[in-house]
């Protein structure tokens, strides 16, 4: 079975632009979470979606938005890019939302903002 | 903000030696998880220990949890070159099941 897939692998944008990152969860998984990982730090939680509804949001500005589609894939959108948005964006899927639910991570999208 | 803090930030040992990494956290948790990340890519789940457990084993991995001290340790025995990676602890909060991560320990195994 395919794992979590993310696209694109790498992306270079300039300040002020907009970016859309995509994630396909493991087949059968209904929950998707997004994380931002700045170089040298641990991941920071951005969003969690379950059954197409937002279940959690981290401490990120409104420039960050996301959605989940009926097939459980997800998009993360970032508007008005800043240099500080340069990071590895990780998507994780899990069967459901709840305690002890193991998350499976994709390889990430490396975003560079110039 | 990050919940956990790993210690040390970096660790370099010889192949065959044991590696111990520590994690401290601040608030009450459902469980604590350890992940491995190679070369800044995707994270691989290693082991999950529940808040009512004190020790757990998986192959060469041994994890302990002390909820009174809000700390955990990950022991990798008989290290191999392939264990070279960054190791992160993540805590799951009771209120919203979100994972809060530490900054990681970078482990280098020298052949």
* DSSP line for A68-80: E-TTS-EEEEE-S
> Over the stretch A84-106, which tens digit does the pLDDT of each residue have?
999 999 999 988 766 667 889 99
User: Tell me, which fold does domain B5-110 have in CATH?
Assistant: Immunoglobulin-like (2.60.40)
Asked if the model's pLDDT at residue B95 lies above 70, the reply is no
Phi and psi at A58, nearest 5°, equal: -85, -175
Length of chain A: 114
- CA pair distance A31, A49, nearest whole angstrom: 6
HSE of A26 in the Cβ direction (CA atoms, 13 Å)?
A: 15
Whether the CA torsion A110, A106, A50, B48 is positive or negative: it is negative
Residues of chain A numbered 14-73 and touching chain B (CB < 8 Å): 33, 35, 37, 39-45, 48, 55-56, 58-59
On the question of pLDDT at B71 being above 90, the answer is yes
Residue A58 neighbours by CB under 8 Å, 6+ apart? A44, A45, A46, A47, B98
Mean pLDDT value of segment A32-57: 92
> What residues of chain A lie within 8 A of the CB of B25, using their CB?
none
Domains of chain A, residue spans: 21-98
DSSP, collapsed to helix, strand or coil, labels residue B55 as: strand
Strands B29-37 and B43-50: antiparallel
| N-terminal to C-terminal alpha carbon distance within chain A | 37
pLDDT greater at residue A56 or residue B20: B20
**Domain limits, chain B:** 5-110
CATH architecture of A21-98: Sandwich (2.60)
Is the pLDDT higher at B95 or at A67?
A67
B24-28, B52-56, B74-78, range with the lowest pLDDT: B24-28
Q: How far apart are CA B106 and CA B86, in angstroms?
A: 4
Q: Are strands B71-76 and B61-66 parallel, antiparallel or unpaired?
A: antiparallel
Of B33, B43, B104, the CB nearest to A90: B43
Other beta carbons within 10 angstroms of residue A33's beta carbon come to 29
- What's residue B7's pLDDT? 84
- Cβ separation B40–A42 shorter than 8 A: no
Q: Which of A4, A103, A106 sits opposite B99 (nearest CB)?
A: A103
């Amino acid at each position: 079975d395919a794992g979590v897939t993310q696209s694109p692998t790498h992306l270079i944008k300039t300040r002020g632009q907009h970016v859309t990152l995509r994630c396909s969860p493991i087949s059968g998984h209904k929950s998707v979470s997004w994380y931002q990982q700045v170089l040298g730090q641990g991941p920071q939680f951005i969003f969690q979606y379950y059954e197409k509804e937002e279940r959690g949001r981290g401490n990120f500005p409104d420039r960050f938005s996301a959605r989940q589609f009926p097939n459980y894939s997800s998009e993360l959108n970032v508007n008005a890019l800043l240099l500080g948005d340069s990071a590895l964006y990780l998507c994780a899927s899990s069967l459901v939302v709840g305690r002890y639910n193991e998350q499976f991570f994709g390889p990430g999208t490396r975003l560079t903002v110039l | 903000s990050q919940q956990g803090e790993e210690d040390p930030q970096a660790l370099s040992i010889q192949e065959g030696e044991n590696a111990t990494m520590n994690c401290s956290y601040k608030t009450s948790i459902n469980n604590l998880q350890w992940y491995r990340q190679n070369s800044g890519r995707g994270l691989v789940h290693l082991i999950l220990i529940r808040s009512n457990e004190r020790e757990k084993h998986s192959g060469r991995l041994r994890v302990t949890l002390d909820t009174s001290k809000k700390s955990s340790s990950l022991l990798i025995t008989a290290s191999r070159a392939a264990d070279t990676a960054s190791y992160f602890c993540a805590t799951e909060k009771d209120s919203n099941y979100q994972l809060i991560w530490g900054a990681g320990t970078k482990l280098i195994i020298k052949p």
